[in-house]
């Protein structure tokens, strides 16, 4: 969105010389991004029997645990919600009881029956982000030269998006969040002469 602010010259009645010189010529712009999380793919740990006995099998998938009675494998609310840098290392957001290792036989492993992506409707964290900008251009009176002043504010709401979710079943960090994938709130001031 880009919006010419209705102050100064564009004001009702044209404004006076002071309002035109102080308030006129500002442009406000913003970028809003909203997106849902990506479907998670749960895999077996690298030490899983199916990989060890049959490397050609490729990525191993665990199985649904038939003893699991919950409707969701999600734990502890939203991804990273209420956590600290220390607690997120040990807080799992995926219930490991919903899964089991793929069964094996003496001759060869059996493949797990888990959906390739989004088992139990598991999706990673979504995000929303708002960036805004305010700019004004001043004529310098030298041919076509002008001065542009701009103030930018990124991630205005300072919303954190978590990532680095461990989806390897059998790992000691299964279901934990290990990183922040977006930037914190940042401001930037710019002055530029164009000619």
109, with CB counted inside 10 A (0-12, 13-18, 19+), is buried
- What pLDDT does 47 receive? 52
Taking the model in full, what pTM does it have?
Answer: 0.72
Q: Which of 46, 15, 17, 25 is nearest to 171 (CA)?
A: 46
- The dihedral through the CA atoms of 49, 54, 59, 65 has a sign that is negative
| Tens digit of each residue's pLDDT (9 = 90 or more) over 83-93 | 777 788 888 99
Q: What is the pLDDT of residues 17-45, one digit of tens each?
A: 776 677 778 899 999 999 888 999 998 87
Q: C-alpha 189: how far from its chain's center?
A: 25
Q: Who wins on pLDDT, 166 or 106?
A: 166
- Angle ∠(57,61,63) on CA atoms, nearest 5: 130
Dist CA 179 CA 80 (whole Å): 10
């Amino acid at each position: 969105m880009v919006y010419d602010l209705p102050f100064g010259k564009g004001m009702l009645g044209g404004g006076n010389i002071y309002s035109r010189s102080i308030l006129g010529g500002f442009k406000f712009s913003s970028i809003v991004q909203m997106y849902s999380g990506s479907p998670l793919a749960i895999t077996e740990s690298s030490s899983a029997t199916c990989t060890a006995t049959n490397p050609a099998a490729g990525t191993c998938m665990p199985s649904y645990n038939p003893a699991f009675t919950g409707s969701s494998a999600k734990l502890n609310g939203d991804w990273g919600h209420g956590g600290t840098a220390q607690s997120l290392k040990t807080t799992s957001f995926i219930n490991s009881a919903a899964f089991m290792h793929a069964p094996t036989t003496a001759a060869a492993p059996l493949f797990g029956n888990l959906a390739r992506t989004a088992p139990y409707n598991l999706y990673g964290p979504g995000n929303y982000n708002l960036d805004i900008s305010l700019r004004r251009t001043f004529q310098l009176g030298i041919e076509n030269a002008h001065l542009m002043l701009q103030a930018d504010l990124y991630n205005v709401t300072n919303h954190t998006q978590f990532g680095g979710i461990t989806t390897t079943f059998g790992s000691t960090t299964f279901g934990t969040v290990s990183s922040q994938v977006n930037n914190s709130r940042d401001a930037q001031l710019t002055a530029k002469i164009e000619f």
